[in-house]
Structure 1
Amino acid sequence: MLHRLHTKDQAACGREASAMNAKTPLLALLLTAPLALLARADGGTSALPNAPTADQALAAKYVYGLLSDSRYAYRPRALDDALSQDMYKRYLESLDPAKQFFTAQDIARFDAYKNKLDDAIKSGELDPAYAIFATFQQRVNERVKFARALLDQDIFVFTGTDRYEYDREDVPWSADNAALDTLWKQSVRNDWLRLKLAGKKPDEIRKTLDKRYNNMGKGFAELKGEDVFQAFVNSYANAIDPHTDYFTPRAAENFNQSMSLSLEGIGAQLQKQDDVVAIREIIPGGPASRSNKLQPGDRIVAVGQGESGAMEDVIGWRIDDVVAKIRGTKGSKVRLDVVPVEAGIDSKPNRIVLTRDKIKLEEQAAKSKVLTIPAGNGAPAKRIGVIELPGFYQDFEGRRKNADDYASATRDVSRLLTQLTAQKVDGVVLDLRNNGGGSLTEAIELTGLFIDRGPVVQVRESGGRVSVEGDSDSGIAWEGPLAVLINRGSASASEIFAGAIQDYGRGLIIGETSFGKGTVQNLVDLDRWPANEEPRFGQVKLTIAQFFRVSGGSTQNKGVVPDISFPASVDASEFGESTYDNALPWTRIASVPHTSYGNFAPLLPKLETLHTTRVANDKEFQWWSDDVAQFRAERAKKSISLNENERRAERDTEDAKRKQRQAERKALGLDLDPLADDDIDDGLAASERDIAKDAAREKLAENRPDPLLRESASILADAVRLLDNDGKLSAQVLPTAIQPGHWAD
């Protein structure tokens, strides 16, 4: 089935404490992914067109035909005035989610379009979208100018009881510009105070913030018509359901590369800093790494194709346009003019010639390690293997061509299981925290590594037909003790896998209740109908089915509930499928026959008791629990004090707590936190930090103490010991055919 090869969902959450730093969905693309939002490919900027291109007009009609047809969409909705009003609300939210640019007066004018957006999609005449955006761009310019002017005013005295109200999701639109002025004044004062508390002097603060606000304005000024088009069409797609999306041709290309964990280029991760694109990370084994001529922080100022193509100045370009120039076919050459990190930006650049190659994004692939879990009372320690799987990735094209080395989560995990078996581990923890999903095929085949044939997931299509997808290969790659670690960020394919492991009684599920996404998406190429040789219309990721566990229940909205629960790091009312106003409801269908490898119910009370006793004395786990409670309490406030003494006292308390924890770690012989000295707010945005140092810090974060992972391994070790040492309990939990110490045979 085609949908098995094209499911991809990602979940993320977070909130900045400043409206100036709050990333709108459009601006977030500028800061986090090379999809949209910067300058033309020729490096220039221009006013947005007054109307869509002919291709965009056709693409809108194709999207309408797809999403309104029950043969394709799982839950089609009529594109009428009611849906138009929904689109209107979503489009405004995509532009200004924090209500920091538009006024109530603007919204009153826009209301004339409220019932016309359906007609705009059907006809391809998208003038309302561009008209609203034109006002938005004007308001951004006004706000940026206002914010920069504030920096020269005498408003940075931080006494009294002022608070900055940064959570504006549910507040009404500001009545007028005067109300917005008040909001922005408090936002700018908060930005200033953060830098002041970080030790910056007034002149340095003023310079940093002026550049920050100016760069923000530049980002919006460099928008293309295709960015507006994508945002507007997504107001329609997202109104159908939360996981239906429209991708422009370039966005679709990046999406597919993220799934395949490969691309063709030079092997360098890039980042925009001011007007220049710089190297953030060199990918091991790629052309950039092999050349030994590039390092993090180096700035790329010009790009040339082949041996003699003209060098194009790329200063001020969009990052996605620079990336497009640098990527290319394996074996082709690209020339780069690079200013070294230690040199001034006006220094003479070095000319570097690289031969492009296929780059494997190994950092995003599955990886493993072994934890030693002591027992006490003279009993031998248990060695628990850990496999971290960040996504259910698959190189669809490589698999179609039957390539030997195509990327596959299942193939990688199978290889790691073989290695862990050779290391004679006593159990395996599969870490799926923040794994937002991926290929449905991979979820099914990965489950097959732990069961000997059988159904894995039920798929109900729009017409009501239910099919059962399962593992048909005999044999088990790992037949020993298994646990799966999940959290609220574990979604979609992660929930299929965790739900199947739980239904089969094949392993323990540990952590938080998962995201709750129980739908299947298919990626449809809009160029398939006119059979275009070059991509013109983009692609649609649309919901085509709902999946159900073999036990009959859906993960939709409810998620997978763990057998052993950790404190919830984020409230279900703030993050997860249940927060979407148009998510499908939970339901269930009939179960399908499947093997029961074990019944952990008799074991769970004993594991809970051991877990509770252990974490009561586990400093790292207690610190994590305390931090979670503090984080949730801070989020509930939805505002922050602008009193310097109060904020400094809070900062000093956090600093003292951090130092005390590090001292206790040292005294107790615990692993030190490599980032303990950096865990204090520097007041800077990501693009304002030293790129090389920030990238190195990101690498160090991988070695931070992880009490949840270690406790999961300890719980699994407890289960192994209990079943090894208590024959009666083992007989209750596992079938008699399974020997102690093995959960499958």
Structure 2
Amino acid sequence: MPKIFQKTALLALSVCLVLAHAPLHAEVRLVDADQLQAREKHQRAIDIITHIATTYHYRQTELDDAMSKKIFDNYFDSLDPNRSFLTHSDIERFSDYRTRMDDAMRDGELGIAFDIFKHYRQCVKERVDYALSQLDQEFDFDTDERYRYDRQEMPWPENDAELRDIWDKRIKNDYLLLKLTDKSPDDIRETLRKRYERIVTSTFQLKADDVFQTFVNAYTTAIEPHTAYFSPRTSENFDISMRLSLEGIGAVLSGETDYTEVQRIVTGGPADMSGELEAEDRIIGVAQGEEGEMVDVIGWRLDDVVDLIRGPKGSIVRLEVLPKGMGPGGPTKTIELERNKIKLEQQAAKSEVLELDGTSSRVGVIDIPTFYMDFAAHQRGDKDYRSTTRDVRKLIDELRDKNVDGLVIDLRGNGGGSLTEALELTGLFISGGPIVQTKDSSGRIEVNEDPDPELFYQGPLAVLVDRNSASASEIFAGAIQDYKRGIVIGEPTFGKGTVQNIIDLSRFDNQGDEELGRLKTTIAQFFRISGGSNQHRGVVPDIVYPTAHRAEDSGERSYENALPWDSVRPAKFEPAAAPTDKFDVVRDRHEQRIADNESFAALLERTRFLEQQREDKTVSLNLEKRKQERERLEAEQEELDEQYHNSLGMELEPEDDSDSKEEGDSDKPDILLREAARILNDLIVPTDELPKQLHADKKASAN
């Protein structure tokens, strides 16, 4: 199935799931081959896109032979990301265009993109026809062979014979998975027949605009990952979604392989409140209502899966989910969710007070899921409009009344939001000065200052981050670190230090009245006031949690073509007189403390277990070995979950394996947050008292 929408175009598709609803089934209309051709509007659009990309993009690149090679490779990778339909020979038949893609884009020869796509979809039909022809055979599950289900990093199959071997194992694996669910042979064959036929249907539904979008994104992602083209239809869907109320299950999805993967859970949505669906889970089945038939969605296009999942408020959807880290042979679970409005109040900042065992300290915590502002209310002139900074001010006053000794700002999972709010929030903790620098494509640098010189809170401060803290979160955490205003704790952050702008291409077109779509392009990069960028590296905490040992494989660092780390001249600023000389001392105490903490040890074991499963891209096609593998995985996961919950002094609840901080899970200790509070407390305690405090820590419970 073609990866029609790249990672960079994810929002325009996935947001439809978070917002809005539509009919669950639409009439299927296949597109004839003669309809797949470049139109005059496509050439007008590509002229504007290449001009903007080569002139105004932050990473100014030439549209030359070197770029042509990247476009060529990206286009085939986009069409067949798992390398299951095309062979090396299929690609080589178009090799003359490897260094001519740039010329085709300049000269209006976009027909090559459509010729490649039409060949690709014919290959899809041939592979699926072959798969359907093999379904009636009797499969031998006694042989000792393995199937590699993730082929994204594998070389292209050399020829048809090699590709048939891959499909033979794929069919056998698909059959075996359903056999393990006790389906009858007839039901298995019918399920697989529908699944494979759906692949052809989805591919043959793609229109000329879809093909054009894929080809253009092969170009834009060759520049850098956050630049993307949205076709008129994609742009329209995005606009409709943003106008409608926040209704759905509250999950952002991607569909780069045969599986629909959860990219992010939206704070305040049904999925978030249930605590059952997690990032990196894969949705393999969708059912309507409490009794509806579970529809197999493996191999479906992302937008078709979204159509099944979204729906009106109050309705029920059931999801069959393959948990993160588990291969196709792993145990699945079924989640029931009631579609509802996203509870915006759940996205607002909230506070709590932690009392630390063995101490007299009280640490305030402010959890900020996103940097938000009610722009509509602000524009209306409402005096009491909601914003991150306004809400945090109130929460700090409330925590002062509760006599807290220090404050932890929890930015885990905070993907960013309003730059204005990032600046204003930082300003609460410093007495004026620069906060972040912005460099545009011309090299001009603008310094963004604290808009309010008032120092609202000057007490002990810690900032807790993880690999999903991005953009505005990184601006805040980086400024606090540079000013030495507090200690940053957790995992290296996402590493997104760039600024994007969405451009309506039709504004630059005076030759027609057709919509040309939009271009999201990177126009600037953020730099810290100390001179370095958050880009790529992210903010590296002063104290790094051991859960960060695989952070290099996540965030911006995982993108092949991401902008590299860079630096500019530092801004002029005065660091605060923070006790950073104690950081080494409290870091040693932290390491001693967690070395003796059963909860941390159990959490790390669970993390390592999932990573091991994620790294193994193969499964056995031997029935008995497959059963043994599944039983072993289930037993190991259950044992690790039990160890973790026992270390917290809790009984293991059925299907409760998350370490979340959700409302429905409020009684479960958040050991990462509590450790951050203890680290902050170490900074508050006089140095000569630290040995006594460490002894008290060891005697105290893990929580």
TM > 0.5: yes
Map of 2:629 onto structure 1? 650
The aligned counterpart of 1:77 is 61
Say which is worse superposed, 49-58 or 532-541, in terms of deviation.
532-541
Deviation of 1:612 after TM superposition, in Å, equals 2.7
CA distance in structure 1 between the aligned counterparts of 2:104 and 2:199, rounded to whole angstroms: 30
Query: Does residue 122 in structure 1 map to residue 106 in structure 2?
Result: yes
CA contact (8 A) 2:495 2:539 kept: yes
Q: Does 1:152 find its partner at 2:136? A: yes
Alignment TM-score, normalising by the size of structure 1: 0.72
Q: How does 1:349-368 map to 2 (within 5 A)?
A: 362=344, 365-368=347-350
What's the secondary structure of 2:200's corresponding residue?
A: helix
* Cα distance in structure 1, aligned partners of 2:32 and 2:382: 46
Which of 684, 688, 695 is the equivalent residue of 1:723?
684
1-structure distance, mates of 2:618, 2:498: 35
C-alpha separation in 2, matches of 1:393 and 1:256: 20
User: Structure 1 residues 137-146 or 418-427, which shifts more?
Assistant: 418-427
Q: How many equivalent residue pairs?
A: 623
The 3-state SS of whatever aligns with 1:68 is helix
Give the structure 2 partner of residue 595 of structure 1: 574
* Distance in 2 of aligned mates of 1:266 and 1:189: 42
* Secondary structure at the counterpart of residue 464 of structure 2: strand
**2:546 counterpart SS class:** coil
**Aligned partner of residue 463 in structure 1, secondary structure:** coil
Structure 1 residue 562, shift from structure 2 partner = 1.0
Counterpart residue type for residue 367 of structure 2: I
Counterpart secondary structure, 1:520: strand
Write the distance in 1 (CA, Å) between the matches of 2:514 and 2:402: 48
1:193 aligns with 176
The residue that corresponds to 1:461 in the other structure is: 440
Query: SS at the partner of 1:429?
Result: strand
Cα drift, residue 617 of structure 1: 4.2
* Cα distance in 2 between the residues matched to 1:675 and 1:429: 32
- Aligned equivalent of 1:489, options 468, 471, 485: 468
CA distances 1:463-498 after superposition (whole Å, capped 9, x unpaired): 222110121213345444332222233333322221
Selected match of 2:493 from 514, 521, 524? 514
8 Å CA contact retained: 2:16, 2:238 = no
| 1:170 shift after superposition | 3.5
User: Please, which runs of 5 or more residues in structure 1 have no aligned partner?
Assistant: 1-19, 273-279, 286-295, 302-315, 327-335, 343-357, 680-696, 730-745
Amino acid aligned to 1:297: Q
Matched position secondary structure for 1:553 = coil
Residue 255 and residue 361 in structure 1: after superposition, are their counterparts in 2 closer, same or farther (change >3 A)? farther
- The aligned amino acid for 2:489 is I
Pairwise CA distance, 1:157: 0.6
Superimposed CA distance per residue, residues 18-60 of structure 1 (whole angstroms, 9 cap, x where no aligned partner)? xx9x97756996995549xx99987634336232344333222
CA distance in 1, matches of 2:116, 2:355: 59
- Cα contact 2:471–2:497 (8 A) shared by 1: yes
**Where does residue 52 of structure 2 map in the other structure?**
66
Distance 1:660 1:616 in 2: 21
Distance 1:597 1:554 in 2: 21
Q: Check the 8 A contact 1:242/1:580 in 2, yes or no.
A: yes
Q: State the partner residue of 1:275.
A: none
Task: State which drifts further: 446-455 or 475-484.
Answer: 475-484
Q: Deviations over 1:626-650 (max 9, x none)?
A: 1322333344444333334434333
Q: Tell me how large the CA RMSD over aligned residues is.
A: 4.5
Structure 2: how far apart are the matches of 1:337 and 1:372? Answer: 36
Quote how far apart the aligned CAs of 1:387 are.
0.4
Cα 1:424–1:124 shift into 2, 3 Å = farther
Give distance in 2, aligned partners of 1:81 and 1:665. Answer: 55
Per the TM alignment, residue 457 of structure 1 is displaced from its structure 2 partner at its CA by: 0.7
Distance 1:26 1:606, change over 3 A: closer
Following superposition, the deviation at residue 596 of structure 1 comes to 2.0
The residue identity in structure 2 corresponding to 1:73 is H
SS at match of 1:640: strand
Native 8 Å contact 1:519 1:547 kept in 2: yes
Q: Secondary structure at the match of 1:591?
A: coil
Q: Which amino acid is the alignment partner of residue 67 of structure 1?
A: A
> Which residue matches 1:611?
590
Q: Does 1:175 align with 2:158?
A: yes
Q: In the alignment, which residue of structure 2 is the partner of 1:712?
A: 673
Return the offset for 1:508.
1.9
1:447 and 2:426 equivalent? Answer: yes
Task: Give the C-alpha shift of residue 88 in structure 1.
Answer: 1.0
> Distance in 2 between the 1:216 and 1:445 partners?
49
Quote the Cα distance in structure 1 between the aligned partners of 2:638 and 2:201: 40
> For residues 19-98 of structure 1, what are the structure 2 equivalents within 5 Å?
25=5, 32=14, 34=16, 44-47=29-32, 49-69=35-55, 72-98=56-82
Q: Is the 8 A contact 2:461 2:680 kept in 1?
A: no
Deviation at 1:551, TM superposition (A): 0.8
C-alpha offsets along residues 347-369 of structure 1, whole Å, 9 cap, x if unaligned?
xxxxxxxxxxx976627723435
Q: The residue matched to 2:538 in structure 1 has which SS?
A: coil
Question: After the TM superposition, which residues 437-586 of structure 1 pair with which residues of structure 2 at under 5 Å, given as runs?
Answer: 437-530=416-509, 536-568=515-547, 571=550, 574-586=553-565
* 1:527–1:538 contact (8 Å) kept in structure 2: yes
Contact 2:527 2:567 in 1 (8 A): yes
Counterpart in the other structure of 2:198: 215
Local SS of the residue matching 1:676: coil
Native 8 Å contact 1:249 1:535 kept in 2 = no
- SS of corresponding position for 1:556: coil
**Cross-structure match for 1:109:** 93
For 2:244, which of 236, 251, 264 is the aligned residue?
264
**How far is the alpha carbon of 1:419 from its aligned partner?**
5.1
Amino acid in the other structure paired with 1:219: S
Conserved? CA contact 2:6–2:217, under 8 Å: no
In structure 2, the CA distance between the partners of 1:214 and 1:406, relative to structure 1 (3 Å rule), is: farther
Match of 1:238 among 210, 217, 221: 221
Matched, 1:703 2:687: no
2:429–2:485 Cα contact (<8 Å) kept: yes
- Structure 1 distance, partners of 2:510, 2:452, is 37
Tell me: CA distance 1:252–1:500, structure 2 relative to 1, closer, same or farther (3 Å): farther
Question: SS at 1:186's partner residue?
Answer: helix
Taking a change above 3 Å as real, the CA distance of residues 524 and 444 of structure 1, as seen in their structure-2 partners, is farther
Q: 1:652 to 1:439 in 2, by over 3 A?
A: same
**Identity, % of aligned positions:** 38
Per the alignment, do residues 105 and 363 of structure 1 end up closer, same or farther by CA in structure 2, a change over 3 Å counting? farther
- In structure 2, do the counterparts of structure 1 residues 507 and 678 end up closer, same or farther at CA, with 3 Å as the change threshold? closer
| Aligned mates of 1:364, 1:151 — CA distance in 2 | 49
Query: Is the CA contact 2:53–2:61 (under 8 Å) kept in the aligned structure 1?
Result: yes
Contact 1:674 1:703 in 2 (8 A): no
The change in CA–CA distance for 1:96 and 1:698 in structure 2 (over 3 A counts) is: farther
Distance 1:644-1:41 versus aligned 2 partners, 3 A rule: closer
What secondary structure is seen at the aligned counterpart in 1 of 2:129? helix
- Deviation readout 1:85-105 (Å, 9 max, x if unpaired): 211111111111221111112
- Structure 1 residues 507 and 64: CA distance shift in structure 2, 3 A: same
**Residue identity in the other structure for 2:47:** K
Secondary structure of 1:603's counterpart equals helix
**Cα gap change, 1:249/1:496 in structure 2, threshold over 3 Å: closer, same or farther?**
farther
Residue 338 of structure 1: CA displacement? 12
**1:372 corresponding residue in structure 2:** 354
> Residues 439 and 634 from structure 1, CA distance in 2 versus in 1: closer, same or farther, beyond 3 angstroms?
same
Q: Is the CA contact (8 Å cut-off) linking 1:26 and 1:95 kept in structure 2?
A: no
Given that 2:605 and 2:640 are in contact with CA atoms closer than 8 Å, whether structure 1 keeps it comes out as no
Shift in alpha-carbon separation, 1:435–1:721, aligned structure 2, 3 A: closer
Match of 2:273 in 1: none
- Aligned residue number for residue 276 of structure 1: none
Cα distance in structure 1, aligned partners of 2:315 and 2:539: 50
